[in-house]
Amino acid sequence: MKNRKVTIFGMGVSGLSALRLLHREGADITVISQGKVDFWPNLEQILKYVPREKCYSQEEIKLDTELVILSPGISKKHPLLKDIKVPIWSEIELGFKYVDAPIIAITGTNGKTTTVTLLGEILNSMGHSAFVGGNIGIPLCDYPFWKKKAEYIVLELSSFQLEAMESFKSKVAAILNISQNHGERYDHFKDYVSAKLNITKNCESFLYTNEVPYKGPGKRIDLSDIEMDWDLTNFKIPGKHNLKNLYVIYEILNILGLDLKKAEGTLSSLSGVPFRMQYLESDFPLCVFNDAKSTNWDATLTAISSVEGDIYLILGGQKRGKGDSILPHLAEIKKHVNKVFLIGETTDSLAREIGDEAFAISCYKLETAIEEAHKESNGTLIFSPAFPSFDQFKNYVERGEAFSKLIMGES
């Protein structure tokens, strides 16, 4: 990479990590992001690695580069990338060049964060040092700065990241499921599926489930017939969907040739993932679960089906443009849920489709939804939005933290 002209397009978490690594490697770096440079929120960090005159707004530059490192939030169809003849890599592809351990790569529409987290916990508890990163929030380009060598690299990969892969190779690649999602990015469902299937390129072993619309090479497992030689009485994370996640982990460990009995002994220590059906212990009159990571209907339907009794659901967020209608799912929601509190940009459209003001309360704001839910005295409150967070929050983490603080009575 020394002296190679590299442009980093998008200066979020992954872009900043790529910048740090490329600076270490002596690349000739230019960075591009949205908005006026002087107003970039992380400009101070960026200027540690590249001079101000090499920072540009995407509206004021024409690319002159040998390589583009593309943020997952930016499509390869962006006008700035039109007709360029140089490689376009994700931050994952760049980080891969500096990895010295076998990679376990996991994708899927739902469950990938939980699966990656639990697999990392199990490996570490077994004494196998694991770096857990990717779409989960820790960029792969952070790994070269680790002080110790990992025995395994466990990566959560999104369809966005998988769009820009070239030579990335994994020891085990797994797809948990694929259902309609990211209508704002993909014109057709087949395009989304195709992006997910990029994970199969160059992998040594491929594992997929019956919830993936794919027929081809690899090991297919049936999630309707789960068979594990483990005693699951110590596995305390709720929901059938988490048993499915665990089954995929079981099969990955089996492919790796690791001691399954030793892995079984770690189950009691597993704690789950923040903002994915996370139980909140509080003085709220209802039992509360924070499922703020939900950005699609399947995730929310899974959440409400994992709890018994009276359920109150907080639903809504940023419109996607495709797959937003609640009508195909309304009967299933009404089967499980007593009342819905609608929030976000989707409030009015969902309320019109539901057409029942007693069942669906238009709240718009999260604070109002929680105030309305507080009037109920028995049952479970689930915050599982089914839509992206960007209408009112920076990301799903900020959304989840805001919900937890409100439930706990914190300002």
The rounded distance, in Å, linking the Cα atoms of 182 and 5 is: 32
pLDDT digits (tens, 9 = 90+) for 50-84: 999 999 998 878 788 999 999 998 988 888 888 88
Listed in order, strand segments (DSSP E) in 194-300 are: 205-209, 219-221, 278-280, 287-290
pLDDT digits (tens, 9 = 90+) for 118-143: 999 999 999 999 999 999 879 999 99
pLDDT digits (tens, 9 = 90+) for 283-342: 999 999 999 999 999 999 989 988 889 999 999 999 988 889 999 999 999 999 999 999
Band (pLDDT 50/70/90 cuts) for residue 359 is: very high
CB-CB contact of 178 with 212 (8 Å)? yes
Contacts of 372 (CB under 8 A, 6+ apart): 341, 361, 363
- Pairing between strand 311-315 and 339-343? parallel
Strands of 55-57's sheet, edge to edge? 55-57, 28-33, 5-9, 67-70, 88-90
- 3-state secondary structure (DSSP) of residue 93: helix
The rounded distance, in Å, linking the Cα atoms of 26 and 262 is: 44
Report pLDDT for 13: 93
Averaged over 198-221, what is the pLDDT? Answer: 94
Averaged over 7-16, what is the pLDDT? Answer: 95
pLDDT digits (tens, 9 = 90+) for 365-391: 999 999 999 999 899 999 999 999 999
The rounded distance, in Å, linking the Cα atoms of 294 and 275 is: 8
| Amino acid, res. 17 | S
Band (pLDDT 50/70/90 cuts) for residue 147 is: confident
Domains located in the chain, CATH noted: 5-86 (3.40.50.720), 94-269 (3.40.1190.10), 278-407 (3.90.190.20)
pLDDT at 350 over 90: yes
Q: How many CB atoms lie within 10 A of CB 102?
A: 16
Report pLDDT for 384: 97
| Amino acid, res. 91 | E
pLDDT at 258 over 90: yes
CB-CB contact of 111 with 176 (8 Å)? yes
Assessment of whether the complete model's pTM goes beyond 0.95? no
The rounded distance, in Å, linking the Cα atoms of 287 and 351 is: 25
Question: What letter does residue 53 receive in the DSSP assignment?
Answer: G
The rounded distance, in Å, linking the Cα atoms of 311 and 339 is: 7
Report pLDDT for 411: 56
pLDDT digits (tens, 9 = 90+) for 187-197: 889 999 999 99
Band (pLDDT 50/70/90 cuts) for residue 242 is: confident
pLDDT digits (tens, 9 = 90+) for 92-121: 999 999 999 999 999 999 889 889 999 999
The rounded distance, in Å, linking the Cα atoms of 358 and 265 is: 48
Pick the more confident residue, 148 or 249: 249
Report pLDDT for 219: 96
The rounded distance, in Å, linking the Cα atoms of 53 and 356 is: 57
Distance linking the first and last C-alpha atoms of the chain: 47
Report pLDDT for 186: 81
Listed in order, strand segments (DSSP E) in 113-182 are: 130-134, 152-156, 172-175
Counting residues of the chain whose pLDDT is more than 70, the rounded percentage is 100
